[in-house]
Amino acid sequence: MSEASNIRERSEQISMNILSIETSCDETSLAIIEANGGLSSPKFKIKKLLTASQIETHRPFGGVVPNLAKREHQKNLPLLFKKLVGKRSPTSKTRMSDFPDIDLLAVTTGPGLEPCLWQGIEFAKKIQKEHFPKAKIIPTNHLHGHMYSFLLPQKNSRFYFLDSRFFPTIQLLVSGGHTILLLMESLTKYKKLGETRDDAAGEAFDKVARMLGLPYPGGPEIEGLAKKYRSPTSIEFPRPMIHDKNYDFSFSGLKTAVLYYLQSQTNADYTQKNADKLPRKSASSPRKSAAAVAAAFQEAVIDVLTAKTLRAAKEYNAKSVILSGGVAANQALRKSFQLSTKNLQLNFLSADKKFQGDNAAMIAVAGYIAYLKKRKYPLKAVGTLDV
CB atoms within 10 A of CB 203: 23
Burial of residue 170 (number of CB atoms within 10 Å: 0-12, 13-18, 19+): buried
Could you give the CA distance from residue 303 to residue 51 in angstroms, rounded to a whole number? 32
> What does the alpha-carbon distance between residue 127 and residue 73 come to, in Å, rounded to a whole number?
15
- What pLDDT is stored for residue 91 in this prediction? 59
Count of other CB atoms within 10 angstroms of residue 364: 35
Q: In the prediction, which pLDDT does 269 show?
A: 52
My answer on whether 14 and 148 are in the same domain is yes
Q: Give the model's pLDDT for residue 350.
A: 95
What does the chain come to in residues? 387
How much is the pLDDT for 289? 86
Q: Tell me the CA distances in angstroms from 246 to 79, 210, 302, one per residue in order.
A: 47, 30, 18
In-domain check, residue 383: no
Check residue 276 and give its pLDDT: 44
**Do both 15 and 143 map to the same domain?**
yes
Residue 88 and residue 219 in one domain = no
Q: Is residue 164 part of a domain?
A: no
User: What pLDDT is attached to residue 163?
Assistant: 72
Q: Please choose, from the candidates 220, 234, 217, 207, the residue with its C-alpha nearest in 3D space to the C-alpha of residue 289.
A: 234
Neighbours of 4 (CB within 10 A): 8
| Pair (215, 279) in one structural domain | yes
Low-confidence ranges of the chain (pLDDT < 70): 1-13, 87-98, 156-161, 266-288
**Is residue 341 situated within a structural domain?**
yes
| Judgement on whether residues 173 and 318 belong to the same structural domain of the protein | yes
Q: How many domains would you assign to the chain?
A: 2
Instruction: Indicate whether 233 belongs to any domain.
Output: yes
Cα separation, 64 vs 114, whole angstroms:
13
Nearest CA to 270 among 235, 232, 245, 300? 235
Indicate whether 188 and 306 sit together in one domain: yes
Please list, in sequence order, all residues whose beta carbon lies within 8 angstroms of the beta carbon of residue 8, skipping any fewer than 6 positions away.
38, 39, 372
Domain that holds residue 144: 3-154+356-373
Asked if residue 322 lies in contact with residue 341, where contact means CB atoms within 8 angstroms, the answer is no
Residues 247, 337 within the same domain: yes
Peptide bond into 153 cis (omega under 30): no
CA separation for the pair 243, 219 (Å, rounded): 25
Asked whether 171 and 144 are in contact (CB, 8 A), the reply is: no
Instruction: Mark whether 150 and 184 lie in a shared domain.
Output: no
Instruction: Kindly state whether residues 143 and 258 are assigned to the same domain.
Output: no
- Report the predicted TM-score, pTM, of the whole model to 2 decimal places: 0.89
Q: What is the CATH number of the domain that holds 178?
A: 3.30.420.40
Cα–Cα distance between 184 and 190 in angstroms, integer?
4
What lies within 8 Å, CB to CB, of 34 at 6+ separation is 15, 16, 17, 18, 44, 45, 47, 100
Q: Could you tell me if 96 and 245 lie in one domain? A: no
Main-chain dihedrals φ then ψ at residue 271, nearest 5 degrees: -70, 140
Cα 192 vs. chain centroid, distance in angstroms? 17
Q: Could you give the CA distance from residue 368 to residue 375 in angstroms, rounded to a whole number?
A: 10
Sign of the Cα torsion 207, 212, 214, 220 reads: negative
Buried/exposed code over 274-288 (b: 16+ C-beta within 10 A; e: otherwise):
ebeeeeeeeeebbbb
Q: Are residues 23 and 144 in the same domain?
A: yes
Q: Give the C-alpha separation, 309 to 283, whole Å.
A: 37
Residue 57 lies in a domain: yes
In this structure, are 99 and 15 located in the same domain?
Answer: yes
